[in-house]
Amino acid sequence: MKKYTYSEKKDTRSGFGAGLHEAGKKNDNVVALCADLVGSLKMDAFIKDFPERFTQVGIAEANMIGIAAGMTIGGKIPFTGTFANFSTGRVYDQIRQSVAYSNKNVKICASHAGLTLGEDGATHQILEDIGLMKMLPGMVVINPCDYNQTKAATLAIAEYEGPVYLRFGRPVIPVFTDPDQKFEIGKAWMVNEGTDVTIIATGHMVWKAIEAGEKLAELGIDAEIINIHTIKPLDDEAILASVRKTGCVVTCEEHNKFGGLGESVARLLTTTLPTPQEFVAVNDSFGESGTPDQLMTKYGLDAINIVEAVQKVIERKKA
């Protein structure tokens, strides 16, 4: 098991803020919109340096999506920012018609995704957003794993032409990827090569998968770990190559097991290379109030849950 360490913990949303600021410096056409959550989305640096390219929309998310779509006409690259719940479910029809169907170059950037929003509870958490967004034809769906990768993803989507959903979280988590990494949309990142099982993780769950990989190594299980930061388009080739080698797979996501990364992987495998699979995901439930750590434990998203899922799927492979 390759050794990963970290010197600090940072939130992925700050990676977004830093990436947005840098994208703004690189390209005058980058504009930002926010629905009364500037601090939460870490947009301050962008607003300070480019006030004329920022629009405060107020608590009116539907209007924000429409304005963003309109701003693409004339060449702007709008980044919208609010919580993941209000970035997706609340404005699904606006995104569907004015952004996705109209193929507008809007970047829907969503903070506070998943359970790790914590104490605010289920109204503000969302565990369905990956599903909602990946079902839209033409929508790219990205869920990066740490501060550095979120920053790199933000820069990459500014250069990509077309609608994108970028999902990130609230809590501080280990920073373990290269600050100068090249982020390639749709290209999986091999975290650890192994032979016994493929662990496919996305977002905050990648670090949990690394922790699980270390525990598995102690148990004599050699896990291959893949970071799928881009859920759509899925890197079919990387997943198939790994599963051909290991013969079983565990998917890990801070999302409902219905509609997320796990289902995308299952669709790929069932039509190409039927393979035993286990899902580490929320079991079709809303969340609740609690600390992020408490919630990850209660809803079965800890490293130990990944270890258990791996043991289970290896048994199924042998059967």
Partner 1 sequence: MKHTIKELEDIASQIRRDIVRMVHGCQSGHPGGSLGCTDFFTALYFEVLNHNKEFNMDGAGEDLFFLSNGHISPVWYSTLAHAGYFDKSELATFRKLESRLQGHPTTHEGLPGIRIASGSLGQGMSVAIGAALTKRINGDKSYVFTLHGDGELQEGQNWEAAMFAPFHKVDHLICTVDYNGQQIDGPTDKVLSLDSLQAKFEAFGWHVINTDGNDMKAIVEGLHYAKTLTGKGKPILNLMSTQMGAGVDYMMGSHKWHGTAPNDEQLATALAQLPETLGDY
CB of 215 to partner 1, least distance (A): 49
Nearest distance in Å: CB 29, partner 1: 9
CB of 252 to partner 1, least distance (A): 35
| Residue 66: CB minimum distance to partner 1, A | 2
> What minimum distance in Å lies between the beta carbon of 153 and partner 1?
24
> Rounded to the nearest whole angstrom, what is the least distance from the CB of residue 137 to partner 1 in the complex?
9
**How many CA within 13 A on the CB side of residue 211?**
16
Is residue 164 within 8 Å of residue 186, measured between CB atoms?
Answer: no
Gap between the Cα atoms of 105 and 288, Å rounded = 35
The smaller minimum CB distance to partner 1, of residues 104 and 208, is found at 104
> Which residue, 24 or 292, is less far from partner 1 as judged by CB?
24
Give the Cα separation of 153 and 292 in Å (integer). Answer: 24
Cα torsion angle, 133, 138, 139, 142, sign: positive
Contact positions vs partner 1 (CB under 8 A): 31, 52-53, 55, 57-58, 60, 62-76, 78, 93-94, 96-98, 101-104
When the beta carbons of 24 and 287 are compared against partner 1, the nearer one is: 24
Which of 68, 313 has the CB closer to partner 1? 68
Least distance from partner 1 to the Cβ atom of residue 99, Å? 9
Query: What residue has token string 């989305």?
Result: 41
**Complex with partner 1: residue 17 or 78, whichever CB lies closer:** 78
Q: Which is nearer to partner 1, 63 or 311 (CB)?
A: 63
Which residue's CB is nearer to partner 1, number 137 or number 220?
A: 137
Q: From the CB of 72, what's the least distance to partner 1, in Å?
A: 8
Asked if residue 65 lies in contact with residue 79, where contact means CB atoms within 8 angstroms, the answer is no
Nearer to partner 1, 107 or 229 (CB): 107
